[in-house]
Structure 1
Amino acid sequence: MGRKATFLLFVMLGFGIGLSAQEVEPKDPEATEVYEPVPPKVVPGSNGAPPSDAIVLFDGSSLDAWISSADSTAAKWHLNQDGSMTVKDKTGNIETKQAFGSIQLHIEWRSPAEVQMSGQNRANSGVFLQGLYEVQVLDNNDNNTYVNGQVGSIYKQSVPLAMASVPSGEWNTYDVIYHAPKFSRGGNLKKPATITVIHNGVLIQDHFEVEGPSEYIGWPTYQPHGKRPLILQDHRDNSRVSYRNIWVRELD
């Protein structure tokens, strides 16, 4: 066989292999219908209630799901008669007794109607996913600050797409989809954490890839970790932030 014929044979063989590797497009509708796995049934909550598979972290009745981050004793924040809890100044952060990975989080928060101080010192708190990655809570109504530290920011990392706060003294809602980072066996980062935040029905963080733990000074740097608690911050500077109706759905 001559060189030209050999070349044509290889081309034809290669073309044939390529065709055989391609999936033939189905001709019947049944061929593209999938019946397993069947998704679990979740009953949506009504009138502000959590869905049926939610883990309720705070419903206004007690602080039993929370402990002090400083010493693991009982959480010392104020439990209010209206079904909320309020940061008790200088008692420190509180965290969940349960550790979590990827979650859907619903949390409602309120800054005081009586405005005091300004900038980062006005009704400052924060929601720390896995105790490390902060979604900022702050009263930014007529109160400018650095935009990567304003309400709804991933603190010092991602500016929110909008400022969607209600007036001071009214209740805000955060709905968060959080996917935890993934690490190799050797501790190297395989996949960064991602955060999506909807603030009062407005998308303000759109699947943001987190650069590492929230840092006040310096650059964020990942360290390998597993499941960790959710933390609520006592900023210690006239915080007075209240929280209510906190629940999560585990995503892993």
Structure 2
Amino acid sequence: MKFSFIGLCCVAFFGSWENEAPKKAPSHSISLNSLNEFNPVTSNWKLANAVHFSPSSDENSFEPGKGIVLDLPVKPDTGHLFTKMQHGDIELEFDFVIARKSNSGVYLQGRYEVQIYDSWGVETPAFYDCGGIYQRWDENRVAKKGFEGQAPARNASKAPGAWQHFRIVFRAPRFDKNGRKTENARFVKVVLNDVVVHENVEVTGPTRSAAFNDERLLGPLMFQGDHGPVAIRNIRFTLM
């Protein structure tokens, strides 16, 4: 009887511990059945059912529908795409496909860019290649106006026209009660096509062409829309 009592106590204890263990926050998806989850959208952003980008020419086409958001910038409509969702710490995943020689990016909090770029075949990637954390920019600097930026650890890009996948774990900047920044924003991990291309990279401020020059606790996701054709699908996120 003594053994059984102890056993029951252990079961009760560990059962209680499991119930009290922290649970991972739920994951959410951004519906692409409409553009309702985004702020006002310029005409370069469209919904599609399928996208076809040629890997060897500028022949691109799409089928209207749902499930994919597509950027086809034509001046003067070259606006960026902003989510209504505002985030701090976040784990983000999405698929993207880019046209040949095209260029885009995803900005965490609308401020800190991970580059989307046709980097197929690049042997030594730079900060502006796909998966790079883009550099900062300061017109007031005397010598080098562009600074910081982090190249991906290796080129994990697929050919233009092929669907690719990002997973980004981002830690937002921290502030004290007076609004003074106490910790920089940080890319905890960036994974491109199942290859870890960044770990624990600090960003001291908004990167070049950010939508906002300040830093805050919360901000939207922004997909860059002014450089060339790109399509996005399967946007999922977990707020941490």
TM-score with structure 2 length normalisation?
0.72
Q: Contact conserved, 1:131 with 1:231, CA < 8 A, in 2?
A: yes
The one of 128, 134, 137 equivalent to 2:107 is 128
CA displacement at 1:133 relative to structure 2: 0.2
Matched, 1:92 2:79: yes
What is the 5 A alignment of 1:4-43? 35=17, 37-40=20-23
What is the 5 A alignment of 1:1-252? 35=17, 37-40=20-23, 53-58=26-31, 60-67=32-39, 73-74=40-41, 76=43, 77-82=45-50, 83-89=67-73, 90-112=77-99, 115=100, 122-142=101-121, 147-156=126-135, 157-195=149-187, 196-215=189-208, 223-236=214-227, 239-251=228-240
Larger-gyration structure (1/2): 1
Q: Contact conserved, 2:124 with 2:155, CA < 8 A, in 1?
A: no
Mean CA deviation greater in 137-146 or 179-188: 137-146
**RMSD of aligned Cα (Å):** 2.6
Identity across the alignment (%)? 29
Cα deviations by residue, 1:120-155 (Å, 9 ceiling, x for unpaired): xx2111100000000000001146897111111110
Q: Contact conserved, 1:66 with 1:75, CA < 8 A, in 2?
A: no
Q: Contact conserved, 1:183 with 1:224, CA < 8 A, in 2?
A: no
Cα distance 1:224–1:135, how it changes in 2: closer, same or farther (>3 A)? closer
CA displacement at 1:75 relative to structure 2: 5.2
1:134 & 1:244 partners in 2: Cα distance? 18
Q: Contact conserved, 1:188 with 1:224, CA < 8 A, in 2?
A: no
Query: Relative to total residues, which structure has the larger strand share, 1 or 2?
Result: 2
Q: Contact conserved, 1:187 with 1:223, CA < 8 A, in 2?
A: no
Cα distance 1:175–1:41, how it changes in 2: closer, same or farther (>3 A)? closer
The count of corresponding residues between Structure 1 and Structure 2 is 191
Q: Contact conserved, 1:109 with 1:173, CA < 8 A, in 2?
A: yes
Mean CA deviation greater in 225-234 or 128-137: 225-234
Question: Which amino acid in structure 2 is aligned with residue 161 of structure 1?
Answer: A
Question: Which amino acid in structure 2 is aligned with residue 176 of structure 1?
Answer: I
2:30 & 2:121 partners in 1: Cα distance? 32
1:75 & 1:38 partners in 2: Cα distance? 45
* Residue 3 of structure 1: aligned partner: none
Segments of 5+ residues of structure 2 without an aligned counterpart are 1-13, 51-66, 136-148
1:41 & 1:228 partners in 2: Cα distance? 22
